[in-house]
């Protein structure tokens, strides 16, 4: 069906592609810690090589009823329903920061359970709905 020239080209291309895929795979495997934008509380809990003076990002959901606002700072808990991390933060939070919503906190770890954050980002999910629909959904659940 194909000429010999075409067949050689296909095999060369196939060979090179396989090698590139392997290289890319191992490249990202070795850089895993740098590619992920944040760690979950469980990943922090399981980590052995944490440098306490290096900035780290922790992400998860803001635990219900965990936000305590003081005059200057605020404290809340990031959870992934297995492990939790207490976050201490001074400053303004994004509009979408709320209980049971996604959050990413950047800062330095005091220990595996306590983070001094200097930056808070809100992470939202992939669901988009008008407010009336959400109300209707909540009604039908109750």
Strands (E), 8-101: 56-62, 68-69, 73-79, 84-90
Region near other proteins per CB under 8 A, out of 44-52, 66-74, 98-106, 110-118 = 98-106
Q: Does 61 bind other proteins (CB under 8 A)?
A: no
Cα-flanking dihedrals φ and ψ of residue 19, to 5°?
-60, -45
Q: Does 40 bind other proteins (CB under 8 A)?
A: yes
| 86 closest CA partner among 113, 65, 123, 118 | 113
Task: Enumerate residues 6+ apart whose C-beta is below 8 A from 65.
Answer: 99
Given candidates 19, 22, 35, 50, which one binds other proteins under the rule CB under 8 A? 35
Q: Does 19 bind other proteins (CB under 8 A)?
A: no
By the criterion CB under 8 A, which residues form the site for other proteins?
Answer: 6, 9-10, 13, 17, 20-21, 24, 32, 35-40, 59, 93-98, 101, 104, 120-134
């Amino acid at each position: 069906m194909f000429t010999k020239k075409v067949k050689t080209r296909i095999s060369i291309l196939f060979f090179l592609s396989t090698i590139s895929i392997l290289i890319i795979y191992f490249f990202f495997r070795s850089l895993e810690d740098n590619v992920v934008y944040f760690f979950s509380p469980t990943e922090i809990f399981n980590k052995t090589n944490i440098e306490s003076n290096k900035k780290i990002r922790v992400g998860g959901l803001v635990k219900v009823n965990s936000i305590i606002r003081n005059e200057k700072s605020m404290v809340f808990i990031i959870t992934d329903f297995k492990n939790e991390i207490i976050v201490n933060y001074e400053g303004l939070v994004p509009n979408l920061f709320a209980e049971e919503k996604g959050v990413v906190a950047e800062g330095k770890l005091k220990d595996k359970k306590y983070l001094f954050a200097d930056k808070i980002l809100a992470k939202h999910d992939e669901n988009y709905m008008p407010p009336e629909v959400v109300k209707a959904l909540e009604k039908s659940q109750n």
